[in-house]
Amino acid sequence: MQLSAALIVRDEEAVLADCLRSIRDVVDEIVIVDTGSTDRSKQIALEFGARLFERPWADDFSAPRNEALSRSRGRFALYIDADERLAPVSRSAVEALLGDDSVVCYTVLFQPQRGYTPYREYRIFLNDPRIRFRGAIHETMLPGIQAVAAADGLTIASSPLAIEHVGYDGDQQRKHRRNLPLLRARLAENPQHVFSWHHLGRTLAALGDEDGAAAAWRRGIDAVRARQEPTPADCLLYGSLLRQELDRGAVTPGLLEEALARFPGNHLLAWLHGRRLVAEARYEEAIAVFETLAAIDGTTFVDDSVAYDTRIFGAWPLDALGLCCFRLGRFAESARYYARAEAVAPDVAEYGVKRRLAEVSSKGASTAPSEPPPPK
């Protein structure tokens, strides 16, 4: 047996069937550990021929994941969740991929949210007892993968497989309330776990505690500063805090400069830099930033470590370019940028309003309002 899909499930009837449908013709078996479903999740699992096991939920994601791995019989394990979908791929292509005995793990292209660019995640790995998940939340098996790779002289390889995550669609309040105590416990145990600080901040912000979110992101940034080398994903803390501060109109002095120095080439930080340049009326400098972003094709862009909201490469910089040109009195050019934003995002009515305002202003109509509102 070559490949087992290992899942943990609880009350996922709304999404589980689509997940299992996406993998059933690719894997040799589906192993599901249910942690207390009261809906039809277990019935759906059995309808798809899954090997179903039950384990009481104990505020720990690693324990059921590791049980699913232990129950799996395949040489490799595919780690996937109920709210994720494997993009269409032939079984023969997967079998050919897994035939390389020198590889311990394959990364896949992972889209964390609709409307975001993909990045690479470690999702297919040898089902070796030395590779197991750690951590009650933000659980990871990467240390085990790296240890086996080093001990056995194996490599980590990229694959063309892709997984889409749809779990951020709809109301997330239940998940936020579930995750909040787990994140706090994880950080009490390991206050240097940077990504948990970022997730805690996002969770608090979603629950309406903006000040608590800012405090969490600041604690995370302190942890980043204590590291010898930041990881690319550490930029998320800076990005979240800076976006909140820009929205509030009060950016911590030096914070953006620090972020840009730590993460050169990061496009989220470039977008935020452009926003601050607009706030400081440095329009020509902002135009250079936004033109660079608008030149990137968000539909094909891939960064191995970080996902981006595709609007950063589409309507948002075009909208910002329209505003910069408008404030410089270049109304016809402004109208062209707004028209491009309107074409990219026809469902956003404000771009059409701004285009018409710029067109009227270019004709010198005295009845035109002063200017369009700034981009968010």
pLDDT tens readout for residues 107-126:
999 999 999 999 999 999 99
Average of per-residue pLDDT across 329-358: 96
- Is pTM beyond 0.85? Reply is yes
What is the predicted pLDDT for the residue at 370? Answer: 66
* Spatial contact of 94 and 161, defined as CB atoms under 8 Å apart: yes
What is the predicted pLDDT for the residue at 256? Answer: 97
Whether residue 218 sits in one domain with residue 86: no
What is the predicted pLDDT for the residue at 38? Answer: 97
CATH code, 178: 1.25.40.10
Residue at which a domain ends, from 237, 261, 285: 261
Whether residue 209 sits in one domain with residue 278: no
- Tell me the pLDDT band of 368, cut-offs 50, 70 and 90: low
What is the predicted pLDDT for the residue at 171? Answer: 73
| Residue span of the structural domain in which 237 resides | 173-261
- Tell me the pLDDT band of 366, cut-offs 50, 70 and 90: very low
Residue 334 has pLDDT above 70, yes or no: yes
Amino acid at 374: P
- Name the domain count of the chain: 3
Instruction: Give the Å distances, CA to CA, from 297 to 67, 250, 302, 310.
Output: 41, 32, 10, 9
Residue at which a domain ends, from 101, 132, 165: 165
Whether residue 255 sits in one domain with residue 269: no
Amino acid at 154: L
| Higher pLDDT pick, 228 / 297 | 297
Residue at which a domain ends, from 105, 137, 165: 165
